[in-house]
Structure 1
């Protein structure tokens, strides 16, 4: 059985490859990436795979039995790209398609949700056996910027007391590797989130403990927060997107307490405190 991973050189994809190697022979893993040279040293086959070159996709999927479609990162273009991959998977005879979607995509107010929902529908309509992994927020969405927060001395946001049930990328990658290497997950949808939930105030407190300095959380209206992000150098659409995710947090879109992720991987998920400590070590 050959397993293909799209976006295998990305942050999540690299973790999936690592976790798959613990469960499968390297010769059965295929990295599907824009630049195969990036996968040198991984000891696995790498094939050129570009979402924006739809005519080339089916050929790259030849011999792939299971395919992990890691969602693209071009908001507004993603469904078109995903649809091309799904069509190619049909043509190539892929037997099982696994997709990284969004936590409660059918109810979320996040701007990301519609393209994920469209993709889920296209996968189900394709006739290919599927597994939908509705991933919640990654701890790294916050921790990768923690050094900037510390240098500013304040954590800004617009999520109020909204709760976040995030987990580490490694946790979500392990879930994907389990689904790809087992046969008991066909035609299932998993809502995946961290075991522990926290607010931005809680997160600021965790940072403060680690650096032994008070880092307060200051809540701003969404427009004001977006403007602050813009002033910090983010392009206007990116700033608006990030501010919007904070409002979605306030709406409860990043909160979940079903613990499906820890059940799937057979261990507790990585807490935000652990990820923070790792980032600052």
Structure 2
């Protein structure tokens, strides 16, 4: 069995990959890269090998990647510094002799900087380009927006009975982080994924009108969807005391949704899982305890 290393293994996606790997792979063949080994004590207790390293520290990456056959590279959550960090990771993988890199990227329609979400696109596009030019075998997982962002975007929707977001008529084939973790493990342990790029998403796209109807059906309330322009949205949330950074992040994603930036439904996730992915209705029912 290959030696597999997963980065970001104390975060939601990386942890999900490791948990799924442990169902079929010996713990001794799995290692994780963490900045703080104490946070991975539960994995260490299961026999997973813990390697300390940091995307900002190139030498630590080369040392951690030594002897690794397959690297699951979770994109950094440090958005301003993500480009240089992931450049370090790709170059270190090449220097360490890693055979196959699986990278968590994102779904997108545009690559010319015109998207409202272009700030998050930059490092992903750079990393994909570096991988393709590196000579390394790669698999790029173009992940849909998580179902988990919906409660964050919508706020206390069952109290207000209103979804208030500047997303227009835009649709997204949201998928759960848990399903993406299982799909990542399937790619790492499967065959035929060399030098492929996959849309990792549900096969159904949802607008916020659709989400409002699902929540209405589940809760027995009438949930409406109101789509202001981004400026009115920002003014309303600022008046409600929402921090500027959160407003900016939500607005940019929602405007991009309205632009159709993330609307790529696909069946690849279902094929990798061998079952239907979690639907929006299933997720919302559990998230809101309905």
TM-score range, shorter chain: over 0.9
- The secondary structure found in structure 1 opposite 2:94 is helix
- The secondary structure found in structure 1 opposite 2:42 is coil
Instruction: Quickly say closer, same or farther: Cα 1:202–1:122, change in 2 above 3 A.
Output: same
Partner in structure 1 of residue 99 of structure 2: 95
TM-score, with length taken from structure 1: 0.93
Instruction: Quickly say closer, same or farther: Cα 1:146–1:209, change in 2 above 3 A.
Output: farther
* CA shift digits 1:47-85 (9 cap, x unpaired): 112112223211111221110111111222111110011
Rounded Cα–Cα distance in structure 1 between residues aligned with 2:110 and 2:169: 23
1:26-65 alignment runs, 5 A limit = 26-42=27-43, 43=46, 44-65=48-69
Q: Which piece of structure 1 moves more, 55-64 or 90-99?
A: 55-64
The ranges of structure 1 where at least 4 consecutive aligned residues each deviate by more than 6 angstroms after the TM superposition are: none
Rounded Cα–Cα distance in structure 2 between residues aligned with 1:58 and 1:195: 38
- The secondary structure found in structure 1 opposite 2:181 is helix
- The Cα RMSD (Å) is 1.8
* CA shift digits 1:200-228 (9 cap, x unpaired): 11112222222222221111101222333
Instruction: Quickly say closer, same or farther: Cα 1:56–1:229, change in 2 above 3 A.
Output: farther
Instruction: Tell whether 2:131 aligns with 1:123.
Output: yes
Asked if the contact 1:227/1:239 (under 8 Å) is kept, the reply is no
- The secondary structure found in structure 2 opposite 1:31 is strand
Rounded Cα–Cα distance in structure 2 between residues aligned with 1:198 and 1:188: 26
Instruction: Quickly say closer, same or farther: Cα 1:106–1:160, change in 2 above 3 A.
Output: closer
> Once the 2 structures are TM-superposed, how far is the Cα of residue 146 of structure 1 from its aligned partner?
5.8
1:224 is matched with which residue: 232, 235, 246? 232
Instruction: Quickly say closer, same or farther: Cα 1:156–1:48, change in 2 above 3 A.
Output: same
Rounded Cα–Cα distance in structure 1 between residues aligned with 2:15 and 2:274: 21
TM-score, with length taken from structure 2: 0.90
- The secondary structure found in structure 2 opposite 1:76 is helix
* CA shift digits 1:178-210 (9 cap, x unpaired): 111123211111112112221111112222222
In the alignment, structure 1 segments of 5+ residues that lack a partner are: none
Partner in structure 1 of residue 279 of structure 2: 271
